Structure 1
Amino acid sequence: MNPRQKRNKKQKLLDFYGSECWWCRQNLLTEYLTIDHLVPKSHGGSDSFENLRLSCLPCNNSRGNSLYPPISWRKN
Structure 2
Amino acid sequence: MNSKQRKSKRTQLTHKFGSHCFWSGRCLLTEELTLDHLIPKSRGGSNSLENLRLACFSCNNSRGDSLFPPRQSCK
Secondary structure at the residue paired with 2:59?
helix
In the alignment, residue 18 of structure 1 is paired with which amino acid? G
Runs of 5+ in structure 2 lacking a partner? none
Matches within 5 A, 1:36-55: 36-55=36-55
1:31 maps to: 31
Q: How many residues align?
A: 73
Equivalence for 1:2: 2
Name stretches of at least 5 consecutive residues in structure 1 with no aligned partner: none
Q: TM-score, normalised by structure 1?
A: 0.93
Q: For residue 55 of structure 1, give the secondary structure of its aligned residue in structure 2.
A: strand
**Separation of aligned partners in 2, 1:66 and 1:13:** 21
Q: 1:34: Cα distance to partner?
A: 0.3
| Aligned equivalents of 1:65, 1:16: Cα separation in 2 | 24
Q: What do residues 1-39 of structure 1 show as CA deviations (whole Å, max 9, x unaligned)?
A: 111111100000000000000000000111210000000
Q: Deviations over 1:37-72 (max 9, x none)?
A: 000000000000000000000000000011110011
